[in-house]
Structure 1
Amino acid sequence: MSTFAVFGMTRDVALADARKKVKITRKTPQGEVAIPMSEWLQLCEKRADETMAGAKTKQLSPLFDAPQYAEDFISIARRTLKCRDMHIKCRVPLTDALGNPLINKKTGAQKVGWRPYAAHPARSAA
C-alpha cells in the first residue's frame, strides 16, 4: 500500500515559518532591545514573501491512501489559498543506483523516502 501526500508552499505556511524564525529582539551596544510589534510583523511579512518567491516546499497535507484524494486537496487549496508548486509525492522503498534496497544499519529495516508521483498516462488523459 502506497501513501501519498501533497507538497508545496502556501502563504499561511510561509508566514507561520517566518513567525517562528524572526527574532523578537535585536542586539544594540546597550544590550538586547525588544523589536516593536508592528516592525516585527513587517519583518515576518518580508520573510514570508522571500519564502513564497523561493523554491522550498513542505508537506502540506495529511497522508492519503490514494492519489485522487491528494488531487482533491490540491484543487481545493488552489481555489482557496495563495499557493505555489503543489505536487503529489508517494512513499517508496529507497534503492541505490543498482536497484539494491538501502538498509538502515541501526535497525536493519529498509529505508523509505518520498518520490514524486507520476500519474498513470491513461488516467491523466481522461
Structure 2
Amino acid sequence: MSTFAVFGMTRGYAISSARRQVPTRIRGEDLTPEEWEAAVNIRADAIMNGSRIIQLCKPFDAPQFAHEFIRLMREQEECRDLCIRARAPKKDATGQPLKNKKTGAPVIGWQDWKAA
C-alpha cells in the first residue's frame, strides 16, 4: 500500500521558522517588539521566496485525500510549491532500485508522484 503526503511551504510555517531563527538581541542591544516582528517578517519573506519545501501533513492512504488537502491549503493561507509525493523505492541513474549495503533491502524515500 502506498503512502502519500503533501510537500510545500506555507506562510504560517515560514513565520514560525523565522521566529526561531531571528535573535532578540543584535550587537548587544535588545530589539523592541516592533523591530523584532519586522525582522521576523523579513525573514519569513525570504523563506517564502526560497526553494526549500517541507512535509505539510501526516501521510494519507490515497492521493485524492492529498488533492483535497492541497485545495484546502490554497483557500486558507498563502502557500507555494505544493506537490504530492509517495513513499517508493529510490532508484539510481540507470533506473535500478537502490539497496541498503548492509541489509540488501531496497531504500525507501519520498518520490514525486504523477497521476497516471
Q: Normalising by structure 1, what TM-score?
A: 0.83
Sequence identity of aligned pairs in percent?
Answer: 46
- Provide the secondary structure at the position in 1 that maps to 2:17: helix
| 1:6-30 per-position Cα deviation (integer Å, ceiling 9, x unaligned) | 0111110110110111111112xxx
The answer for the alignment partner of 1:48 in structure 2 is 44
Does 1:114 pair with 2:110? yes
Matched, 1:83 2:74: no
Partner of 1:3: 3
Number of the residue aligned with 1:123: none
Could you say which residue in structure 1 is the equivalent of 2:69? 73
Shift of 1:115: 1.1
Name the counterpart of 1:12.
12
Cα distance, 1:68 vs. partner?
Answer: 0.4
Q: Distance in 2 between matches of 1:106 and 1:36?
A: 54
Aligned residues: 116
Amino acid of the structure 2 residue aligned with 1:4: F
Question: Larger Cα Rg: Structure 1 or Structure 2?
Answer: 1
State whether structure 2 residue 62 is matched by structure 1 residue 63. Answer: no
Aligned to 1:22: 22
In structure 2, distance between residues paired with 1:38 and 1:106: 54
Using structure 2 for the length normalisation, give the TM-score.
0.89
| Code of the aligned partner of 2:77 | L
